[in-house]
Structure formats: structure tokens, C-alpha cells
Amino acid sequence: MAFTQKHILGMYHLEKSDIITLLDTAQGFKEVSNRVIKKVPTLKGRTQINMFFENSTRTRTSFEIAGKRLSADTINFSSSTSSTTKGETLMDTAKNIMAMKPDVIVVRHQVSGIPKLLAENLDASIINAGDGAHEHPSQALLDMFTIREHFGTLDGLNVLIVGDVAHSRVARSDLIGMTRLGANVAFCAPRTMMPRQFHVPGITISSDFEKMLPWADVVIMLRIQLERMHGTPLFPGVEEYSRQWGLNKRRLNLMRKDAIILHPGPVNRGVELAPDVADGERSVILEQVENGVAVRMSMLYHILHTQEEG
């Protein structure tokens, strides 16, 4: 079915058919990264601006590489070196950037809802690269892509998402996207890190990590997001957290033999993941990063194609 979205603000706004289209196109783009000349002319003449108001390694680099591999002109805007440090407002900044006629703006911001605000006020297509604790759709899509590569489908798979669920935009986007593709999703977290309300029916909630591990085909470990706890940690200490909630070799043995481990990064080694588990054969963390380029190529391709059609 045709993809008709002008923006990608979150998994909430994507139908099952949109998700499948994005994943199928990403599958086709994946081989571009394995060529000697890693470039196709698909988005030649289109302009992509990456506006990051919050730090990023994987997402910003991956969106830049994705745009460049499609021959778009990609420009990076970093808030720390911009005139926002002189007091310019977000909307003034965005309107000035818009005056330079970009076709797509990829935005990360610490405040939930900023990508939607920009989509309502600017002519360019907007891609949400992570807003506060709200959504991170490109991460969810690359997670789904990686799982689909391993199991062929998400339909009927059991996906266990573990850790700081309350602050995790990845957990939200994964939950929405994966349930749309038929997966059974469970959140497992200390009670202090579990959000109180969900708008997605059918989710399993647990605070018993070791009981849930044998259930899972896929285990997604989350980072503790200290930067969103505003100086009040929701756990007694890092060592205690690791003891109760860390995925180590002993707990790995509770998992199914073919189960895989994902993590969105950055990993806190020795906290949510023991180093030998993070680097072990069940971990697909670097596959996620590799697949992120193909998935983001697909996102850029489809929303700019929608613009042309519109």
C-alpha cells in the first residue's frame, strides 16, 4: 500500500501498512551500504537539516549517513554551537532554518511534542529523532527491522522490554510499533520506573525479571535515563540496580536458546548489561546500528516521495 505520510512524528501515527512499507524499502536499501561506492541518486537536489537539541551519537550520524547515501544535501545543526545560546527561541530558530528552504528537518529535542509543533508551523517534512520521553520512531523501526531479520516476522513473538520504562521513548515507540505487527510486548521494570498508564491494550506488566526471561524471544534492555530524573534517582544505587536488573551470564541461561538481546544504546556497561553479554553472540546491538542506516534511508525516501506526489 502507498505511503502517504508527510511527517514521521511517532509510531502512533503509522498504520501497520506504513510500517511494513518502511521496513520492506529499508531491506532494499541495506545493500547500498555494502557497496564500494555507497551512494544512489534517489534524493539528489533535496535538502535535509538535522536539528539536534539533545546529544546523540547513533541517531544523528545515522540520519546524516542515510541522507548522504541517498545523495541529499545534509546539514547538521547543533544547539550548543548555534544562536540559541544567545537567547534565540526555538520557533525563531526553526523559521530561520525554514527560510533556507530545506525539504526535511530531522529533529531531536528534550521536550516531548516539539516535532509536532514544528510540523504544524513549518512547510518542511519533520522526522522525530527522539522527543523527551515521548517517541523515538526511527529506533523502533530499526529494532523491528532487526527482529524481523532474525525471526522473519514479529507476529506472535514475545518481546520483553526491561528497565527504565517510565523515561524511555524507545519503550513507547517499540510497544506501539511491535503490537501493530502482532508481537506480544511485556514491560518489566522496578515499580518506580514503570509508567502508571498505557493507551495500548494487551500489554503485560511485570516486576519479576527472572520469571519473564524464559518467556521472551526478544529481550530489549534499556538504559537508566538519569538525565530525566531531575536529580532524584528512582533506585538505591547503580550496584543494587545491576544486581536486581542487570542482564548477566547467569540470567542469560534463563533465556530461550534462540532469544536475542537488543539495546538502543548508549549502553551503561556493567549496569543494565554485563560486558560479556553486551559483546556476546546473543547480542545484536551492532546489527541494530547497521540496520539504522537502511531504515533511516527508507524514512527519508518515503516522506520526500510523499512530498513530490502531494
* Contact window for ligand CP (CB under 6 A) among 40-48, 97-105, 144-152, 262-270: 262-270
Q: Which of 265, 270, 271, 290 is the binder for ligand CP (CB under 6 A)? A: 265
Taking the C-alpha atoms of 116, 118, 124 and 129 in order, what is their torsion angle to the nearest 10 degrees?
A: -60
Q: How far is the CB of 155 from ligand CP (least distance, A)?
A: 25
Q: Which of 58, 150, 256, 305 is the binder for ligand CP (CB under 6 A)? A: 58
The mark string for 37-56 relative to ligand CP (x by CB under 6 A, - otherwise) is -------------------x
Whether omega for the bond prior to residue 233 falls within 30 degrees of 0, making it cis, is: no
Q: Which of 115, 130, 163, 190 is the binder for ligand CP (CB under 6 A)? A: 130
* Contact window for ligand CP (CB under 6 A) among 77-85, 174-182, 260-268, 295-303: 260-268
* Contact window for ligand CP (CB under 6 A) among 95-103, 194-202, 258-266, 274-282: 258-266
Q: Which of 2, 15, 39, 57 is the binder for ligand CP (CB under 6 A)? A: 57
Q: How far is the CB of 225 from ligand CP (least distance, A)?
A: 11
CA angle, residues 247, 252, 253, in degrees to nearest 5: 150
CA gap 220, 204 in Å, rounded: 15
Residue type, 12: Y
Q: How far is the CB of 137 from ligand CP (least distance, A)?
A: 11
Residue 118's nearest CA partner among 77, 68, 57 is: 77
Is the separation of the CB atoms in 108 and 56 below 8 Å? yes
CA gap 1, 281 in Å, rounded: 36
Q: Which of 126, 264, 277, 283 is the binder for ligand CP (CB under 6 A)? A: 264
Residue 125 or 173 with smaller CB distance to ligand CP: 173
Q: How far is the CB of 264 from ligand CP (least distance, A)?
A: 4
Does position 139 bind ligand CP by CB under 6 A?
yes
Residues at the interface with ligand CP (CB under 6 A): 56-59, 130, 139, 264-266
